[in-house]
Amino acid sequence: MKTILSKTPHSIQLYLCLLISCWSSFPLYSQIDQLKQRLSLPDTENRIDLYVDLVLQCYYLESPDSVAKYAERSMVLAKQLDLPIALAKAHYCKGVAAFAAGQPKESLTETHLALEKANLVQDTGLLLNIRNLRGNNYYDIGLLEMAMEEYLQAIHYAQQMQLTAKAAAAYANMARILFNKQSYDEAKRYYTLAAEMGLQAKDTLRAIGILMNKVSTHLRLNEMDSAQVLADWGLQKSTELDFKNGVSMANIRQAHLAIRSRRYERALQVVQDMLDTVTPSDYDTRYNAWYFRSIALDSLGQYSLAIEAAEEALRYAALTNRKTLLVAANRQLYLANKHAGLAEPALAYYEAYRTLEDTILDSNTARKLTTMKHLYETEQQNYEIKQLEDTVRFEKLRSRQWLLLLGSALLIVSLVGGWLFYVKQQKTIKERQERQLIEQKLLSLQMNPHFLFNTLTSLQRYLLEKENVETAHLYLSKLSQLMRNILTHSREKLIPLEDELQNLKAYLQLQKLRFKHKLNYQLEVDEQITIGDYQVPPMLIQPLVENAIEHAGITSKEDGQLCIHMQKKPNGLRILISDNGTGWAIHPNPSSANAHQGVALQIVKDRLALLSKLSHDQHEMKIDTRVGQGTTISLHLPFYEDTDY
């Protein structure tokens, strides 16, 4: 353990040390058994509080049916006691049960009733729990601003009462919203605070969940080492505690990490362990296992097995009845069939996942509007009840009430119209971007036959001139390796700069074999550039280097020089390709000898134009050529942060 901590970032060491110091005090499942035993005794004091504790423990460790059963019993007891505090706690239990069953609308109704009763007795601890639960429901519906308001209220109550565990829950929920808004650094900071508070309060189960969510934040920030340490630890401790949900969360992140790190064999091992240990009824975990298995097999080129795994993922996604999982499974089936060259099923799955995406968007919109309407109607009913209790005041406020109703109706109509317009606009933008992306891929594919034509022509010329079989064999071997790399990268929108440099070096070595001492080149990369950290479009630099060799006249000079220099700039990479040749025409006449160079240049220009549209970042190419003095090409590429541009 000391060795692990020595290689672990400081903040993660803190979590591990705190948790290691308090594991022995958490007999998790025995807590549920003790609560059930205490409830079975006659005349147990504070029975309603025991029901609250039992409902929360069942939420973490048992099924939603168990949560609903004890929530119903708490309501029966509360009605017998007929006390505001008892009714508030019972409605809170019912809200937890509805949330566990995936019914946020019903949960909001129950928590609204709980909030009214809790406000009567000013039970700050209960108000804190209710606010947290309401925030969770708003988050699931997609009303993030309302969720943040509830969580901020919960944090206020927790700080007021100095309840560390409750504050941890509220901070974790705030982190979840920030993560959803793609504010990953802020989300990581809130997860850190939440984890530290949870560990101080010895709330083990919540601490595991928070740290597993923090793994996802590390992944988004490409902090792979930190993510791996937390995922390994989460799997180990969840296994020791027999915390099944924790094991599932940790395994899913282990598989995701392996995929992101391109350790596909490791990913296959993780998902196989998941499938061997998970229960048949755990559809979510089985879906994730088959989904990641398909991605790994697809990446390894085992397309038939990848399709079979994706079909299994689709089957379990259907059993969960969650449309987001159905979208992901259909999309993976589309990609696997596409990579396997099966056009007809690929098109069918593409249409299926796009249709499901549109359905989810429409249903989410309707769900938000229904919830807002439900909240409005609930508040309006309460408002009318209070007005009926005072007839005189009701008469004075009648006109104001009608104005409120009219304004609310207009607001709802405006919201519906504005949202529908926004949805239509976003769909149009998305379709236009997809068309542009397809055009970019087609242009990228055009470079491959252009490069192959020039290279095979060079090979033919070399064989005719040299008639050296051994050297020709070496030339052909290097060519075949280069072609394999190009075919592999042609499927990608972006590849690591390191891979592009390897392809460029291989191409230059081929040309060096061909021209020998007539070709002198330099490939320089600034020290500030870590080639493994940057992405570039494939086959974008090579055509420009090829033009310099084939058309600039450097191989016909005794002191011909070609220099490729990569520099890091504040807003991207600058690639300079310069030679001291005879110069060439930027816009050659189609009938001239240099017409062939214009094909590559035009394709590069078209690709840069499309890349600028898709990524919303400027791509530039400037050519400075002077007859008898040489040519310099300056290529500017931005830093690519999103491969789904």
Query: For 160-175, how does the pLDDT look when each residue is reduced to its tens digit (9 = 90+)?
Result: 888 888 788 888 888 9
Give the separation between CA 244 and CA 285, rounded to whole angstroms. Answer: 10
Mean pLDDT over residues 343-367, rounded?
79
**Residue 632 pLDDT exceeds 90:** yes
Q: Give the whole-angstrom CA distance, residue 202 versus residue 196.
A: 10
For residue 587, what pLDDT band results from cuts at 50, 70 and 90? very low
Range scoring the smallest mean pLDDT among 43-52, 66-75, 202-211, 387-396: 387-396
- Name beta bridge partners: 634: 576, 622
Q: Which stretch, 6-20, 392-406, 552-566, has highest mean pLDDT?
A: 552-566
Of 200-209, 213-222, 597-606, the range with the lowest mean pLDDT is 597-606
Which pLDDT value is given to residue 5? 33
Residue 12 scores a pLDDT above 70: no
Kind of pairing, strands 521-525 and 562-569? parallel
Residues near 205 by Cβ (< 8 Å), separated by ≥ 6? 28, 60, 61, 243, 246
pLDDT average, residue stretch 229-240: 88
- Decide if pLDDT at 430 tops 90: no
**3-class DSSP state of 263:** coil
Say what percent of the chain tops pLDDT 90: 24
- 542 pLDDT above the threshold of 70: yes
- Write the CB contacts of 562 (distance below 8 Å, at least 6 apart in sequence): 519, 520, 521, 522, 545, 548, 549, 554, 577, 578, 579
What is the per-residue pLDDT across 515-524, written as a single tens digit (0 to 9) for each? 777 888 899 9
Query: With 80 as the cut, is the pLDDT of residue 89 above it?
Result: yes
The pLDDT of residue 94: 93
Q: What is the DSSP letter of 565?
A: E
pLDDT at position 383 is 55
What is the distance between the alpha carbons of residues 132 and 401, in angstroms, rounded to a whole number?
Answer: 32
Whole-number Å distance between alpha carbons of 118 and 127: 6
**pLDDT category, 98, cuts 50, 70, 90?**
very high
Mean local confidence (pLDDT), 133-154: 86
DSSP state of 631: E
Question: How many CB atoms lie under 10 A from the CB of residue 197?
Answer: 24
- Whether the per-residue pLDDT at 242 is higher than 70: the answer is yes
pLDDT at 466 over 60: no
Query: Comparing 219-223, 424-428, 463-467, 517-521, which segment has the lowest mean pLDDT?
Result: 463-467
- At residue 463, φ and ψ (nearest 5 deg) are -65, -40
Comparing 96-100, 249-253, 453-457, 511-515, which segment has the lowest mean pLDDT?
453-457
- Rounded to two decimals, the pTM is 0.45
Give the per-residue pLDDT at 524.
Answer: 92
Q: Which amino acid is at 489?
A: H
pLDDT band at 451 (very low <50, low <70, confident <90, very high): low
Region of poorest pLDDT, from 88-102, 283-297, 500-514: 500-514
The radius of gyration of the chain from alpha carbons, rounded to an integer in Å, stands at: 32
In this structure, the number of other CB atoms found within 10 A of the CB of residue 158 comes to 25
217, containing H or E segment: helix 204-220
Average pLDDT over residues 264-278: 91
* Residues pairing with 635 in the sheet: 575, 621
User: 298 vs 445, which has greater pLDDT?
Assistant: 298
User: Both tokens of residue 395?
Assistant: 């008469």
- Where is pLDDT greater, at 628 or 234? 234
Question: Nearest 5°: CA angle at 465, between 463 and 466?
Answer: 70
Among 34-38, 67-71, 292-296, whose mean pLDDT is lowest? 34-38
Provide the 3-class DSSP secondary structure of residue 515: helix
For 380-425, the pLDDT digits (tens) are 555 555 655 566 666 666 767 777 888 888 888 888 888 888 888 8
Tell me the average pLDDT across 191-211: 84
Give the separation between CA 117 and CA 107, rounded to whole angstroms.
16
Residue with more model confidence, 439 or 334:
334
Cα–Cα distance, 218 to 230 (Å, whole number): 10
Indicate whether 221 pLDDT > 80. yes
Length of the chain: 645
> pLDDT-derived band of residue 468, with 50, 70 and 90 as boundaries?
low
Ramachandran assignment for 325, one of left (phi > 0), alpha (psi -120 to 50 degrees), beta (any other) = alpha
217-221, 399-403, 624-628: segment of lowest average pLDDT: 399-403
Cβ burial, residue 28 (10 Å; 0-12/13-18/19+): middle
pLDDT at 29 over 80: no
Per-residue model confidence (pLDDT) at position 2:
32
pLDDT mean over 292-306: 94
Mean pLDDT of the chain: 80
Q: How far apart are CA 301 and CA 304, in angstroms?
A: 9
Q: How confident is the model at residue 1 (pLDDT cuts 50, 70, 90)?
A: very low
Q: Is 409 exposed, middle or buried (0-12, 13-18, 19+ CB in 10 A)?
A: exposed
What's the pLDDT band for 593 if we cut at 50, 70, 90?
A: very low
| Residue type at 445 in one-letter notation | L
DSSP 423-492: HHHHHHHHHHHHHHHHHHHHHHHHHHHHHHHHHHHHHHHHHHHH--HHHHHHHHHHHHHHHHHHHHHTT-
Q: Which CATH superfamily includes the segment(s) 432-637? A: Histidine kinase-like ATPase, C-terminal domain (3.30.565.10)
Instruction: Name the pLDDT band for 9 (thresholds 50, 70, 90).
Output: very low
Q: Indicate if the pLDDT at residue 429 is higher than 90.
A: no
* Most confident of the following: 6-10, 42-46, 251-255, 601-605: 251-255
What residues form DSSP beta bridges with 621? 635
pLDDT over 90 at 316, yes or no: yes
Reported confidence tier of residue 223, pLDDT bands at 50, 70, 90 = very high
Residue type, 615: S
Give the integer Cα–Cα distance in Å for 269 and 255: 9
